Structure 1
Amino acid sequence: MSRSPKTARRLFDRFEPVHALTYFAAESLRGFEDAGFRGFWMGYFAGRAAPLGRVPAEVVTAVFYNFSASHVGRALPDAWDFASPADALRVRTAAATAALRRCGVTDDEATVTAATLLERAARTAPVEGRPLFAANLALPWPEDPVARLWHATTLLREHRGDGHVALLVAAGITGRRCNVLHSVADRVPREFIARSRQYDDAEWQACVEALAERGVLDSTGALTDTGRRVKQELEDDTDRLALDAFDSLDDDDLETLFRTLTPLTRKVIAAGDIPAATPMGLQRDDLEDDDAHVR
């Protein structure tokens, strides 16, 4: 079937906030703290990496891609001295589900329908070359409708993320440099990405210089024409790879998914937990439109 890759981007802007609530909600922060994890980042790395099991920090650094080895290494494997991966998974799902319910996402027909369609997409999405998606796919599916919705969005965002990482590797753009490129391209403010991904001025400048050597940035650190082309191709190809996850949904299914999921996303955004600027570079200007535009 022929669909525009833009459909994948519009879907991402809808399902990613449902997943991303886990990183910002008080329920998640409190749940990881109660489980024994020390501080936000230990909970973050333990929760997101838990589907992989007790793997070394080097594996998580490789799979997550854009965090420094030292950042990951301060949390893992020490986190597993405080609680197990199974504990982290239990807390993560329960906290995200509670946060979504607080935002007004209930067990109504819209939630059940959106969760069912997203689950079908996630279960049939290509798994090859997507380690974090595969690890989450191997987990049991929750029975609770809101938990199922969250789990399905988690799978689809990691599927997209694994594809994006593969494209960055193929383009020769390292994890640390891709953050800088993302910021310079006005997707995320420098202050936010530097703080959340822990750059000092020296590392940031080293990334700028490396990207300038490739012609992606100029001597002032601004995007060149080549840089704009490279960045746009990365985003377009990410959408193209992500679109395959929805091949099991026909056009009517996609229309139904947009119609049921978009209002749920608006509820999550309206609750205010997720800041306007995030490392994911989410777009909100399309969220008043619940039409899939596939016809």
Structure 2
Amino acid sequence: MSPATSRPARDDIARSLWRLLEPIHAVVYFAPEPLEEFRTVGYRGFWMGYFAGRAAPLGSADANVVHALFYNFAYERVSRAVPAAWSFAPPDEALAARVRGSVRALGRALGPAADGADVARAAELAMRAARSAPLEGRALFAANRSLPVPQEPLAQLWQAATLLREHRGDGHVATLVAAGISGRESHVLHAAASGIPRDVYTPARDFDEAEWTARRDALEHRGLLEDDRLSPRGHRLKTRIEERTDRLATTAYDALTTSETDELARLLRPLTHAVVRAGDIPLDNPMGLDLRASLDQS
């Protein structure tokens, strides 16, 4: 890190790059090409493909492991997908399917730019950051880090975005645990902070009225919510969680100079813009990603 670059400035870089990289990673969940690839190898339905694809770097993991690491899903949802998924197709087929589908989706969104020098350079910088990020305490990132690096630039860019996303996600989960916010409560807290409609979480995270009310009431009892909005105390806690997440994510970029992180952001902006404009990823989503902010940066 350059002596002239303050830690808050570096933390801002980590958040800015997350907003630019997350849509590139997220095509694996929303674009039609990865969903088609998961169906082709044998997975049944969206959720089996989701859990198989994301959990595949862990090997034939069971529901307890996946539920613990993914943190915010209902256990019943996880247990319906794994370990049953591995009887339809093993983890190595899920890994291949997710890369094939994501590369196809990105290629469609980027058009001729997919084969350009900017993609190759962005992939090189992002992968250098991802491969240098600390492993300790980041199990899902470490599992992805153990995978071979693709040689094709577009596949390499997608995998680097995935590595950096899971690195940040592991740090975010640790921060939530330290703050005493369970995975299910984190959705209610984020909805109050972001204004994402509650009904987004009904199909995406299996909330019914009773559970949502119970989680909301628990946060209100702690003084974090008032009338379904963040209280001043809740706002302070949410700010601390986000700031700590950024700070932990910043460690992934210590291998890059300030000029290189600036270059990476510059290269990613038009790529992210194209991916978001392709329209596969919903603007209101439960991932915590503000796609409007991604578009603003693009």
Interval containing the TM-score (normalised by the shorter chain):
over 0.9
Contact kept in structure 1, 2:273 and 2:294, CA below 8 Å: no
Please state how far the C-alpha of 1:289 moved relative to its aligned partner: 4.3
- Of 97, 104, 109, the residue aligned with 1:98 is 104
Residue aligning to 1:273: 280
Higher mean alpha-carbon deviation, 236-245 vs 187-196, is at 187-196
Unpaired runs of at least 5, structure 2: none
Unpaired runs of at least 5, structure 1: 291-295
Residue aligning to 2:124: 116
- Of 141, 147, 151, the residue aligned with 1:143 is 151
CA separation of 1:179/1:288 partners in 2, compared to 1, >3 Å: closer, same or farther?
Answer: closer
1:231 paired with 2:238, answer yes
Cα RMSD (Å): 1.2
1:217 paired with 2:225, answer yes
- Of 185, 202, 216, the residue aligned with 2:193 is 185
Residue aligning to 1:207: 215
CA distance in 1, matches of 2:229, 2:127: 41
The TM-score with structure 2 as length reference comes to 0.94
1:38-77 counterparts in 2 under 5 A?
Answer: 38-77=44-83
Residue aligning to 1:293: none
CA distance in 2, matches of 1:286, 1:88: 28
1:36 paired with 2:42, answer yes
Contact kept in structure 1, 2:276 and 2:295, CA below 8 Å: no
1:258 paired with 2:265, answer yes
The 3-state SS of whatever aligns with 1:139 is coil
CA distance in 1, matches of 2:218, 2:296: 40
The TM-score with structure 1 as length reference comes to 0.95
Contact kept in structure 1, 2:272 and 2:294, CA below 8 Å: no
- The structure with the greater share of residues assigned to helix is 2
- The aligned length equals 289
Q: Percent identity?
A: 52
CA distance in 2, matches of 1:187, 1:75: 30
Residue aligning to 2:134: 126
Runs of 4+ in 1 over 3 A off after TM superposition: 285-290
- CA deviation vs aligned residue, 1:124-155 (integer Å, no higher than 9, x gap): 01111100000000001111110000000000
Residue aligning to 2:15: 9
- Of 22, 25, 29, the residue aligned with 2:31 is 25
